[in-house]
């Protein structure tokens, strides 16, 4: 190989590397983040991981907590547009009602990335969506229960997430798909606990009262671990044993559910990573660098954890992850 060719190769490699490095670089960029609130342990972890990821990438993050109100999110997004930020992250509390404000962002040529929940709006109104496959999460939870109860009759009560949110809609759908065709399993009561511990406890108390002191309830399926932890307290207050008298299956895999699983008070959880911001910032960096269009949907993993999966070790592992 001639010296000229070697030099040309080296230059090409250097350019490629610097472009790649440049593509990850967001230093100096201003990014607005409209976060739903801090309704659950998982949400709090998502917020701290997003702030960490922003700091690592030199992003100037403008954070807005909406206290679980869509009107506050819309106000925050309009504020980011007025500030002329370089990009906007949104975790949309519910699926509908976003077209107008997302159109305003598009007209201002500010890319929007959705985190952890979806919207019923045209896909050209956001650059990409980083979320789990929430139908799959529900299916994994349902399949665990099908496999656990076998042919035994099992009356299930369901604690739904926030009404109108994509995780509540999708996790319900997936769970029902998994138990369909198994006549011994049925959902006898279903109500929203709004993804919070306190509401999860309150609604579970109502289910127990309505179902013969809980004696007729075989399992509780909670759309997130925080509602499951609230339900566990209600089951104990009723003099029943969570995890044995009433099986407990939920989603998120936050540290506290591993404490419950280790104590035999919960049975299974489906993991949801709190790091949606990493893939979001990677997509933004490439897009802002040279217009690279990311996949429209970036799907994060969902994994089942039970008492067979070293719950104490999983607790310890997560404690350092921003929870």
Enumerate binding residues for ligand GZL (CB under 6 A).
39-40, 42-43, 116-117, 131-132, 167, 195, 224, 226, 251-252, 272
C-beta of 86 vs 250, nearer to ligand GZL: 250
* Helix, strand, coil percentages in the chain from 3-state DSSP, rounded to 5: 50, 20, 35
Q: Which residue matches tokens 């996949």?
A: 295
Q: Which residue matches tokens 């980011």?
A: 80
Output DSSP code: residue 242. B
**Cα distances (angstroms) measured from residue 154 to each of 148, 151, 187, 249, 309:** 10, 9, 9, 13, 25
C-beta of 252 vs 265, nearer to ligand GZL: 252
C-beta of 41 vs 311, nearer to ligand GZL: 41
Residues 6+ away with beta carbon under 8 Å from 171? 134, 135, 137, 138, 141, 161, 223, 251
Residue 110 three-state SS: coil
Cα–Cα distance, 147 to 160 (Å, whole number): 22
C-beta of 102 vs 159, nearer to ligand GZL: 159
C-beta of 81 vs 135, nearer to ligand GZL: 135
Taking the complex as a whole, the smallest distance from the CB of residue 133 to ligand GZL amounts, in Å, to 10
Taking the complex as a whole, the smallest distance from the CB of residue 251 to ligand GZL amounts, in Å, to 6
C-beta of 132 vs 267, nearer to ligand GZL: 132
Taking the complex as a whole, the smallest distance from the CB of residue 87 to ligand GZL amounts, in Å, to 20
Q: Which of 163, 164, 217, 230 is nearest to 189 (CA)?
A: 217
Taking the complex as a whole, the smallest distance from the CB of residue 185 to ligand GZL amounts, in Å, to 23
Taking the complex as a whole, the smallest distance from the CB of residue 167 to ligand GZL amounts, in Å, to 4
Taking the complex as a whole, the smallest distance from the CB of residue 132 to ligand GZL amounts, in Å, to 6
């Amino acid at each position: 190989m001639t010296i000229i060719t070697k030099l040309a190769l080296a230059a090409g490699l250097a350019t490629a590397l610097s472009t790649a490095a440049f593509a990850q670089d967001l230093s100096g960029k201003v990014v607005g983040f409209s976060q739903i609130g801090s309704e659950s342990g998982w949400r709090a972890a998502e917020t701290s991981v997003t702030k960490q990821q922003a700091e690592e990438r030199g992003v100037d993050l403008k954070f807005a907590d909406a206290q679980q109100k869509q009107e506050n999110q819309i106000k925050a997004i309009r504020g980011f547009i007025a500030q002329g930020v370089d990009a906007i992250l949104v975790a949309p509390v519910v699926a509908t009602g976003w077209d107008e404000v997302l159109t305003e962002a598009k007209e201002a040529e500010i890319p929007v990335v959705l985190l952890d929940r979806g919207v019923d709006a045209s896909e050209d109104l956001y650059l990409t969506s980083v979320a789990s496959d929430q139908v799959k999460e529900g299916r994994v939870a349902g399949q665990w229960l099908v496999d656990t109860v076998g042919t035994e009759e099992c009356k299930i009560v369901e604690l739904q997430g926030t009404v109108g949110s994509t995780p509540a809609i999708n996790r319900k759908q997936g769970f029902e798909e998994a138990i369909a065709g198994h006549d011994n399993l049925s959902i006898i009561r279903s109500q929203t606990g709004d993804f919070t511990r306190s509401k999860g406890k309150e609604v579970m108390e109502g289910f127990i009262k309505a179902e013969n002191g809980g004696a007729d309830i075989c399992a509780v399926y909670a759309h997130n671990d925080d509602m499951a932890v609230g339900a566990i307290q209600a089951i104990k207050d009723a003099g029943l044993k969570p995890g044995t008298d009433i099986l407990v299956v939920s989603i998120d895999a936050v540290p506290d559910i591993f404490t419950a699983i280790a104590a035999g008070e919960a049975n299974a959880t489906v993991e949801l990573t709190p790091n949606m911001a990493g893939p979001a910032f990677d997509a933004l960096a490439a897009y802002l660098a040279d217009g690279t269009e990311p996949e429209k949907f970036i799907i994060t993993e969902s994994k089942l954890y039970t008492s067979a999966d070293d719950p104490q070790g999983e607790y310890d592992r997560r404690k350092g992850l921003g929870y």
